[in-house]
Amino acid sequence: MKTKSKLIEFLSQKPNLNLLIFSLFISVALGNITQQFFLRFLLTSYFRIAIITLVVIIFWLPITFYSIRNLIFQHKAQLKPTLAISFGLSCLVALLFYLYSPIKITGNLILLEQAPIFLYRISRLMNIISFFLSFSFLLMLMFSGLQRKLDFHRLWSIVTMLFFTAVLLIGLFSYKDYGISSDEPNERTNGLVSAKYLADYLTEKLPDIDPYLPKLSTYRYRYYGVAYQLPMAIIEQNTMLKEDAIWQFRHLSNFVFFSFGVLAFFHLASDVFEDGRLGLLAAIFLVVSPRIFAHAFFNPKDSVFLAAFTVALCFCNQVWKNPSYRGAFLAGIACAFAANIRIIAIALVIITLGVFLIDFLKDRNKNMWRFAALMLLTFLVFLILFWPASWESPLKHITNAIFLFADYTYWDLRIMYLGKFIKGADAPWHYLPVWMAITIPITYIALFILGTSKILLQTVKLKLRALVDHQTRSLLIFLCIFLIPPMLAIVLGSTLYNGWRHFQFTYPSFLLVAMLGIREIIKHIPHASTFSTSNLITKVLLGSVAINVIFVAFWMVQNHPFQFAYYNQIGKSIGRENFERDYWRVSMKLGLASILETDDREIIHICTEEQFSDPAFLMILPTDERNRIRIIYDEPSEIVCDYAIVTYRFPDMFKCQSHLQSFQADGLPILSIYQCD
């Protein structure tokens, strides 16, 4: 640790030359990883390697210079033990991700083909060092930001760093436990189709790309944004992932991106309530939300959008509070990324423009128009940039996408709701409220009701002034973000299915309102005497919240990896068996693995849903094992089955006489295996 402190002191003494040299060193590492993960398909000659390396380093240098300079300034406010812990945790996490990530760092492929083997090994060693340095550096920046929100308080800084470290490591050691969800193969194809289009656009060729991929211009799902899926496809191709490693990488990447959303939520809550401790509590609430946590691994749409929307909301909140050109620019990029995933994120741009208008009318500050113009222009430019399918005709493509998703009719299968199988288009108005009421931890719901009451009372008290008071206005916006989208879906009669997963992006706003509720409880503590009744009630309420959060966290550990089947006390009283359980059938991986482990026959015939006749859904299993499986989905063929797997997704599924095994979440069967005679 003395080496680390001396390094920062050395950089502080000579900020010009030494800071530039160290920034260049980190930029080389970041540039090296950027090339290996995103640009390897362009590195086809030594000349290209030199030019691309120079361009990438120039890109990273100002970013690292600015970041390291801020890190040095903040070091003066940090105590050495805290700095030592942040450095140690950064190195530990970087090392573990290198060891347990499905991506294996390789050397330069041109050197492998054209140079002595020792040069390739040297390049591989350099890539490994670059990965370690880059990952550690980014984590140090993350930890520095956490400490700044906590005013560099030693205890709370350490607790917060340990929490985020634990989140990353839990994801690292859990990502292999989940199967492939129903939407993942399609989402992967979306990314690959756009990646092929991008490579063709650059007159280059991605390695091992499927030659039978459809053209982007005629692709059925071309209106789906690929701001997240395109980078995933490029990394997959450049790192040459194969078979089950592809899906393991995607599950780990999904969770890391979700963790980035949790980090943004910490900053958002810290800014809203001006207290980093409440930011930490909000982040804990988000992670200790069983269904949200599970979806973070295998949900390539809703969970990813939740994270992207939260990041955009964080930047928007900052620019609402302190408008600036930098803030407007970053908010525009974040909103464009989120809107590319789900077009509804355009609402954040509209809200922000409305805030600028209100502030202009209040202060007559002409800069508000400049901020608004910059954000809108940035949003439009990056929305098109993130969307390759829109490049030929941006306005037409975006307009078509808005109309398509405003009245989405591609999905109209059966869903189970209140004990009956119904069409998604026929879901009753109470479908969403009931699903939310039975699957969100009940303590969070109670805190949300308290927070909502506080917002409404404060709004009535302030009247029109509520629109110019930053905190009240922000909380009103958060309340509307949570309430209005589901209400619109109900009023417009939208097709609803798979619970409330399409509205996960509203959940952080729900939790922010709930955090207001808990802040109102905490506020009574300093004003109450030691033996007062109000003090006792406050402590009982806080104790109840803590016990419930601990109980939910324990439930998540006990029922891993079936957190997606969580029901609160209300759900249990109504009857969990009356609702969908594993509607994405991710538990199928465990069911198939169990059969393969106990049955050594070369060919095993399994009766189950038609979906699993697609080989893509079996790719999460090792190649040798999945080649033994033959999926049968025609009911008349049941007599030839060795096993039947029931997912409880549809009625009248296959069942043989002998029940062999059931996977359960808190006693509720999620998937059952029957052995056929």
Residues 6 or more apart whose Cβ sits within 8 Å of residue 353: 372, 375, 376
Residue 527 belongs to a domain: yes
Q: Are residues 611 and 466 in the same domain?
A: no
Average pLDDT in the 420-448 region?
92
In tens, the pLDDT along 105-155 reads 888 888 877 878 888 889 899 999 999 999 999 999 999 899 889 887 888
Average pLDDT in the 235-263 region?
94
- Are 509 and 478 a contacting pair, CB within 8 Å? yes
Q: Are residues 3 and 142 in the same domain?
A: yes
Using pLDDT thresholds of 50, 70 and 90, give the confidence band for residue 77: low
pLDDT in the model for residue 658: 84
pLDDT in the model for residue 411: 62
Q: 286 or 241: whose pLDDT is higher? A: 286
Q: Are residues 5 and 70 in the same domain?
A: yes
Using pLDDT thresholds of 50, 70 and 90, give the confidence band for residue 425: confident
Contacts of 470-475 with CB under 8 Å at 24 or more apart are 470/320, 470/321, 471/272, 473/320, 473/355, 474/272, 474/317, 474/320, 474/321, 475/272, 475/451, 475/512, 475/513, 475/516
Q: How far is CA 449 from CA 105, 457, 602, in A?
A: 49, 12, 57
Average pLDDT in the 320-332 region?
94
Q: Are residues 461 and 550 in the same domain?
A: yes
Q: Which of 600, 581, 583, 604 is closest to 662 using CA atoms?
A: 581
Choose one of 232, 256, 272: the last residue of a domain: 232
Using pLDDT thresholds of 50, 70 and 90, give the confidence band for residue 14: low
pLDDT > 70 fraction of the chain, expressed in percent and rounded: 92
pLDDT in the model for residue 408: 61
Q: Widest CA span of the chain, in angstroms?
A: 81
Residue 199 belongs to a domain: yes
Using pLDDT thresholds of 50, 70 and 90, give the confidence band for residue 7: low
- The mean pLDDT of the chain is 88
Q: 537 or 464: whose pLDDT is higher? A: 464
Average pLDDT in the 494-508 region?
90
Residue 380 belongs to a domain: no
| Kind of pairing between the strands at 604-607 and 629-632 | parallel
- In the Cβ-directed half-sphere of 481, how many Cα atoms lie within 13 Å? 29
Instruction: Look at the pTM and tell me if it is higher than 0.85.
Output: yes
Q: Are residues 547 and 645 in the same domain?
A: no
Q: Are residues 538 and 429 in the same domain?
A: yes
518, pLDDT greater than 90:
yes
In tens, the pLDDT along 446-466 reads 999 999 999 999 999 988 888
Q: Are residues 120 and 223 in the same domain?
A: no
In tens, the pLDDT along 263-287 reads 999 999 999 999 999 999 999 999 9
Using pLDDT thresholds of 50, 70 and 90, give the confidence band for residue 8: low
Using pLDDT thresholds of 50, 70 and 90, give the confidence band for residue 20: confident
Q: Are residues 522 and 660 in the same domain?
A: no
C-alpha to C-alpha distance for 163 and 161, rounded to whole angstroms? 5
Domain CATH code at residue 599: 3.40.190
412, pLDDT greater than 70:
no
Q: Are residues 114 and 71 in the same domain?
A: yes
Average pLDDT in the 487-498 region?
86
Contacts of 655-663 with CB under 8 Å at 24 or more apart are 656/607, 661/594, 663/562, 663/587, 663/590, 663/591
Using pLDDT thresholds of 50, 70 and 90, give the confidence band for residue 10: low
By three-state DSSP, how is residue 528 classified?
coil
- The domain total for the chain is 4
pLDDT in the model for residue 466: 83
pLDDT in the model for residue 72: 73
292, pLDDT greater than 60:
yes
- In the Cβ-directed half-sphere of 45, how many Cα atoms lie within 13 Å? 4
Highest mean pLDDT among 70-74, 437-441, 584-588, 669-673: 437-441
Q: Are residues 69 and 216 in the same domain?
A: no
Length of the chain: 677
Residue 542 belongs to a domain: yes
Average pLDDT in the 240-249 region?
91
Domain that holds residue 207: 184-232
- Are 105 and 128 a contacting pair, CB within 8 Å? yes
C-alpha to C-alpha distance for 150 and 144, rounded to whole angstroms? 10
Q: Are residues 189 and 169 in the same domain?
A: no
pLDDT in the model for residue 570: 94
Q: 661 or 4: whose pLDDT is higher? A: 661
Residue 313 belongs to a domain: no
Average pLDDT in the 529-542 region?
72
Residue 315 belongs to a domain: no
Q: How far is CA 123 from CA 26, 109, 110, in A?
A: 17, 9, 10
pLDDT in the model for residue 528: 47
List the alpha helices (DSSP H) in 211-345: 229-238, 244-273, 276-287, 290-298, 302-321, 325-341
Residue 515 belongs to a domain: yes
Residue 169 belongs to a domain: yes
Cα distance between the two ends of the chain: 66
Choose one of 507, 531, 565: the last residue of a domain: 565
Q: Are residues 108 and 200 in the same domain?
A: no
Count CB atoms within 10 A of the CB of residue 633.
14
With residue 415 as reference, give the H or E element that holds it: strand 414-417
- In the Cβ-directed half-sphere of 440, how many Cα atoms lie within 13 Å? 24
List the alpha helices (DSSP H) in 116-243: 117-149, 154-172, 184-201, 229-238
